[in-house]
């Protein structure tokens, strides 16, 4: 066969495989036997090996490909992936409906969808070709898992139309795939996955795509990141369009005219849930009209136009075998129930938090008791109550210790607290937990320094405080188990990169009592340098809106300790940044900028500025950036493909700028 005929044959084979794959994996209506699909695949592989120039990115042969990665690259979502607020009962849903009607009137409809229990992902297509896939991450920054997502056969590598679009969905592991995976792991003597959600997340974060391919994942698409770009005017219309493009959407959805219809839909699926071939943990309810969604807007974390109803927690009975104690980084002693393994809401549960001694006394919990447990919100195992009438007399009372289980120091109960604490600053457990906190994502975010590696370094006495992390050498790390040349190089690079973090990351990482990530950012913005913060007074601190008496006392006490002063000096000597690198917001009264006191909405795609960058610059000049257009909006900045927000701004007579005007004003 000559090259021209081969090229034509390759196209025919590729089209056939895409068609058969769509029928099998999306429609669940295979039109040919598996043997015929395999025969065509082998022929295509043969021609692509003979003529590599005919191999394309969207070829079905490319679903398991790509080299094994050393680490995942970070990806900034063009449109943030927000989380959903929760509803747990009928009243929560009726309150949600009331808020919606008060805001946009009574002419509304909802779309109800099954809440798939998996991993949220974002898929980006350019001119119809799949180019990138990412995890949700923190909603703004995710991880590039493109090669792993390609292994999901229901996800199209090329769309039926040459559109550029970003879509959102839930990757999941079907129940049958989960059972087969755990059966195989059991035979190999490997630890079993607790539930399909964990298994799906673990599979998509494998550095080797071949492992992900073997796990037989699936995906349902549930939304479009930029629906205005395709001219959609409703969420349901957007889902129908995704079907046309060749995506797999969940057909068990319904458009509901009233909240009573929504409640009926929920009741039906509460009963039918066990019959599904995949796990769900609730129902998602969304306002259908995109114009009404825009009018309702979002909070910092979630859209006001959607809510997730969570199924009532499943309750089961098991035996409480023992109570184990752990020491947190702040010295709090936490008792944990060790349970006879039992399955709850699709997960095998062996541990449940008991919080503190008062709760144990209040619920009259004894070791050996039969207990009722549930998963609060289908996530956290919790002991509901004891079945006292089933006691045999062999149960044993539990008493909290008087001394720390790690360092033997005497425990104390601080005024106004129910928790027992170890206040020994040299307690090994506290130091270890503090180290784990320091390297965590919201703190210094040192990739590769997870809990296991930190525990190993601590046990080997290679680190005893956070400053020691910056003294680690290649030779020391190479001696650790499971640490190869490449892993060590990546880890050393990550440690070096963390030195450039802005001050708020370091402040949060230091674990100052009561100072969370948000308070750390406020302190960094206010004082700008570690030196200024360390020498501040309680009076100066409580003058800041978000800082109360207790937090101010905690901050002052921390910086008065000699150990803290020495630690900071060691970090300075290691080259760790001590300054705030972000923009410092100013009040409208302080700013003479055109943005001062104005509410600005950004819409469409900005070509020169990232959305977050533009937001920070506007807020630094005393402006407020909102997510939706209303009568209170002063200004709309419209980039490419601006949709309903621009239309609404024009209808309301709101001033509209393009990106060039925005940049010009920011530069003044």
**What residues act catalytically?**
115
Count of beta carbons in the 10 Å neighbourhood of residue 416:
6
CA distances from 192 to 104, 188, 189, 306, 492 (A): 49, 10, 9, 35, 32
Whole-angstrom distance, CA of residue 340 vs CA of residue 363 = 19
Whole-angstrom distance, CA of residue 559 vs CA of residue 655 = 49
Q: 295: closest CA among 664, 627, 663?
A: 627
Classified as helix, coil or strand, 549 is: helix
CA distances from 270 to 267, 312, 596 (A): 5, 9, 50
228-256 burial by CB neighbour count: b if 16+ within 10 A, else e? bbbebebbbbbbebbeebbbbbbebbbeb
Q: Is 486 exposed, middle or buried (0-12, 13-18, 19+ CB in 10 A)?
A: exposed
The backbone torsions φ and ψ at residue 10, rounded to the nearest 5 degrees and listed phi first, read: -60, -40
- The half-sphere exposure of 135 on its side-chain side, counting CA atoms within 13 A, is 20
The backbone torsions φ and ψ at residue 169, rounded to the nearest 5 degrees and listed phi first, read: -160, -175
Q: Could you tell me if 20 and 37 are in contact, meaning their C-beta atoms sit under 8 angstroms apart?
A: yes
Q: Could you tell me if 583 and 592 are in contact, meaning their C-beta atoms sit under 8 angstroms apart?
A: no
First to last CA, the chain: 67
Q: Which tokens go with 228?
A: 């205005």
Helix or strand run (H / E) with residue 255: strand 254-256
């Amino acid at each position: 066969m000559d090259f021209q005929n081969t090229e034509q044959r390759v196209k025919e084979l590729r089209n056939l495989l895409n068609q058969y794959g769509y029928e099998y994996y999306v429609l669940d209506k295979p039109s040919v036997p598996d043997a015929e699909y395999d025969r065509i695949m082998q022929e295509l592989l043969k021609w692509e090996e003979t003529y590599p120039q005919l191999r394309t990115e969207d070829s079905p042969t490319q679903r398991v490909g790509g080299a094994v990665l050393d680490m995942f690259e970070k990806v900034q979502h063009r449109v943030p992936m927000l989380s959903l607020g929760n509803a747990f009962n009928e009243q929560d849903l009726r309150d949600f409906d009331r808020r919606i009607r008060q805001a946009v009137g009574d002419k509304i409809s909802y779309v109800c969808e099954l809440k798939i229990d998996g991993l949220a992902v974002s898929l980006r297509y350019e001119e119809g070709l799949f180019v990138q896939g990412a995890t949700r991450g923190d909603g703004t920054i995710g991880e590039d898992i493109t090669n792993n997502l390609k292994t999901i056969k229901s996800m199209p590598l090329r769309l039926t139309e040459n559109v550029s679009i970003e879509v959102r969905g839930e990757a999941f592991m079907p129940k049958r795939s989960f059972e087969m995976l755990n059966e195989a792991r059991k035979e190999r003597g490997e630890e079993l996955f607790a539930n399909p959600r964990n298994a799906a997340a673990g599979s998509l974060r494998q550095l080797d795509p071949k492992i992900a391919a073997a796990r037989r994942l699936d995906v349902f698409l549930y939304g479009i990141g930029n629906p205005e770009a395709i001219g959609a005017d409703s969420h349901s219309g957007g889902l129908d369009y995704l079907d046309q493009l060749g995506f797999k959407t969940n057909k068990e959805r319904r458009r509901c005219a009233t909240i009573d219809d929504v409640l009926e839909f929920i009741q039906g699926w509460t009963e039918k849930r066990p019959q599904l071939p995949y796990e769900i943990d609730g129902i998602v309810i969304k306002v259908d009209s995109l114009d009404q969604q825009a009018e309702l807007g979002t909070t910092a974390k979630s859209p006001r136009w959607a809510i997730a109803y969570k199924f009532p927690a499943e309750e089961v009975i098991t035996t409480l075998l023992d109570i184990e104690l752990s020491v947190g980084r702040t010295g709090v002693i936490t008792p944990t129930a060790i349970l006879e393994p039992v399955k709850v809401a699709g997960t095998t549960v062996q541990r449940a938090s008991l919080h503190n001694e008062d709760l144990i006394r209040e619920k009259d919990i004894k070791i050996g008791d039969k207990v009722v447990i549930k998963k609060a919100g289908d996530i956290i195992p919790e002991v509901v109550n004891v079945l006292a009438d089933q006691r045999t007399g062999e149960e044993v009372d539990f008493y909290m210790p008087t001394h720390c289980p790690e360092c033997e120091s005497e425990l104390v109960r601080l005024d106004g607290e129910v928790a027992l604490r170890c206040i020994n600053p040299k307690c090994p457990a506290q130091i270890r937990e503090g180290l784990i906190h320091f390297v965590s994502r919201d703190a210094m975010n040192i990739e590769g320094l997870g809990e296991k590696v930190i525990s190993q370094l601590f046990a080997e006495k290679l680190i005893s405080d956070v400053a020691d992390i910056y003294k680690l050498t290649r030779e020391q790390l190479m001696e650790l188990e499971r640490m190869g040349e490449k892993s060590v190089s990546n880890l050393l690079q990550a440690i070096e990169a963390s030195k450039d973090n802005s001050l708020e990351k370091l402040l949060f990482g230091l674990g100052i009592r009561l100072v969370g990530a948000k308070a750390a950012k406020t302190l960094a913005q206010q004082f700008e340098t570690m030196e200024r913060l360390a020498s501040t007074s309680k009076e100066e601190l409580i003058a800041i809106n978000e800082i109360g008496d207790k937090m101010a006392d905690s901050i002052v006490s921390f910086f008065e300790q000699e150990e803290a002063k020495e630690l900071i000096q060691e970090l300075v000597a290691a080259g760790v940044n001590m300054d705030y690198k972000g923009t410092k917001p100013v009040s409208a009264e302080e700013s003479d900028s055109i943005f001062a006191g104005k509410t600005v909405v950004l819409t469409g795609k900005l070509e020169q500025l990232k959305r977050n960058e533009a937001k920070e610059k506007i807020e630094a000049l005393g402006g407020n950036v909102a997510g939706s257009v209303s009568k209170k909006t002063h200004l709309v900045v419209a980039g490419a493909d601006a949709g309903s927000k621009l239309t609404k701004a024009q209808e309301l007579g709101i001033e509209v700028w393009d990106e060039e005007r925005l940049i010009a004003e920011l530069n003044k």
